[in-house]
């Protein structure tokens, strides 16, 4: 197995999932597991199959083949879509677009949503203050939805997904469109949930988010799994540790210059040359001869990995 993380019995398993829409193979033979208390991140370019995968996990899209299994501890495994309702009773879902009720206050949104799970009003009303506190919305309990900022709405969506005290959360781009403050607050709350033992399946376009939150990552492209593992391990496995970015007038010429020999790998993107190297010392010294160029020396990160695996080109069809 790829992952070196000690694997307890998974709570959620996807086996050999495939889906094609007409000619397009959107998801290809995809398998992964989520352990209790684990946050698994799914990253990939637009059109990589992330949302289709989530939809199949929710039983909203029927796979052509493969299985989606939910395995609660000490109980029979449940299979999507035949046990869809029983599985959803144990899931919390935050979809890409808010589907909060604009006619209701924050507290009413939680109450009404809890009823869809068949929970008695008394139990939901007991949970509402805690959920609002978790979402940092206590003072907004009776506020109408139109009074909330984007970050508040996302946190209310998260609180709503927790109303049934789920074992597993499915979050489709939970911080897209949020400002840095709102994102950090969201991250802090998600980390808290993982510490409480909840499992999370998360899709994101933000590499810092993936690196910070996820125990394990799955890189998806053209519907199939490019690699899987802990963020740091993946970076170490696929990339040289040091990156030197060079940009400014004449930077592009360096890509074909003798400097190239000082790096293991060289890439060009736009006006910037990226040198990937085991040790940047010699390269940085050589770059002193080009004072007009600006350089940035930094450790390799998840974004480098992502771009190496999925390419630097903008995709017209995405």
Q: List residues near other proteins by CB under 8 A.
A: 15-16, 29, 31, 58, 60, 62-67, 84-86, 88-89, 91, 93, 95, 97-104, 108, 112-113, 115-118, 161, 164
Q: Which is nearer to other proteins, 141 or 268 (CB)?
A: 141
Secondary structure element (H or E) that encloses residue 192, with its range: helix 180-195
As a whole number of angstroms, the distance between CA 126 and CA 129 comes to: 7
Q: Which is nearer to other proteins, 123 or 253 (CB)?
A: 123
Give the shortest CB-269-to-other proteins separation in angstroms: 36
Q: Which is nearer to other proteins, 152 or 262 (CB)?
A: 152
Give the shortest CB-192-to-other proteins separation in angstroms: 22
Q: Which is nearer to other proteins, 46 or 99 (CB)?
A: 99
Give the shortest CB-120-to-other proteins separation in angstroms: 11
Give the shortest CB-219-to-other proteins separation in angstroms: 19
Residue 255 class from Cβ within 10 Å (0-12 exposed, 13-18 middle, 19+ buried)?
Answer: middle
Q: Which is nearer to other proteins, 112 or 136 (CB)?
A: 112
Give the shortest CB-264-to-other proteins separation in angstroms: 34
As a whole number of angstroms, the distance between CA 223 and CA 208 comes to: 23
Strand stretches in the chain, DSSP E: 12-21, 24-34, 39-43, 65-70, 78-80, 91-94, 168-172, 199-203, 216-221, 224-229, 242-247, 265-269, 272-277, 294-299
> In this structure, what are the phi and psi dihedrals at residue 102, rounded to the nearest 5 degrees?
-70, -20
Give the shortest CB-26-to-other proteins separation in angstroms: 13
As a whole number of angstroms, the distance between CA 181 and CA 167 comes to: 27
Q: Which is nearer to other proteins, 54 or 210 (CB)?
A: 54
- List C-alpha distances in Å: 84 to 50, 77, 81, 119, 304: 20, 12, 5, 18, 38
């Amino acid at each position: 197995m790829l992952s070196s993380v000690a694997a307890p019995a998974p709570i959620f398993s996807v086996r050999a999932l495939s889906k094609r829409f007409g000619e397009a193979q959107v998801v290809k033979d995809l398998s992964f597991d989520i352990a209790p208390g684990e946050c698994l991140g799914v990253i990939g370019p637009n059109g990589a199959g992330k949302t289709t995968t989530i939809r199949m996990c929710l039983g909203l899209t029927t796979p052509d083949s493969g299985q989606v299994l939910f395995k609660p501890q000490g109980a029979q495994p449940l299979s999507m879509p035949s046990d869809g309702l029983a599985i959803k009773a144990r899931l919390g879902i935050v979809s890409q677009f808010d589907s909060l009720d604009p006619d209701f206050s924050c507290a009413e949104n939680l109450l009404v949503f809890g009823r869809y799970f068949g929970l008695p009003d008394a139990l939901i009303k007991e949970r509402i203050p805690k959920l609002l506190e978790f979402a940092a919305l206590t003072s907004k309990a009776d506020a109408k939805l139109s009074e909330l900022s984007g970050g508040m709405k996302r946190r209310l969506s998260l609180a709503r997904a927790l109303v049934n005290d789920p074992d597993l959360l499915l979050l489709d781009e939970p911080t897209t469109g949020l400002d840095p403050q709102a994102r950090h607050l969201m991250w802090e709350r998600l980390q808290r949930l993982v510490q409480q033992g909840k499992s999370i399946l998360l899709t994101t376009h933000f590499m810092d988010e993936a690196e910070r939150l996820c125990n394990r990552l799955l890189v998806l492209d053209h519907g199939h799994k490019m690699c899987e593992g802990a963020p740091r391990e993946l970076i170490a496995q696929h990339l040289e540790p040091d990156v030197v970015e060079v940009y400014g007038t004449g930077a592009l010429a360096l890509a074909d210059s003798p400097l190239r020999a000082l790096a293991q790998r060289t890439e060009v993107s736009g006006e910037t040359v990226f040198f990937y190297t085991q040790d940047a010392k010699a390269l940085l010294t050589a770059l002193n001869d080009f004072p007009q160029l600006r350089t940035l020396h930094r450790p390799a990160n998840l974004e480098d990995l992502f771009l190496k695996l999925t390419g630097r080109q903008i995709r017209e069809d995405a």
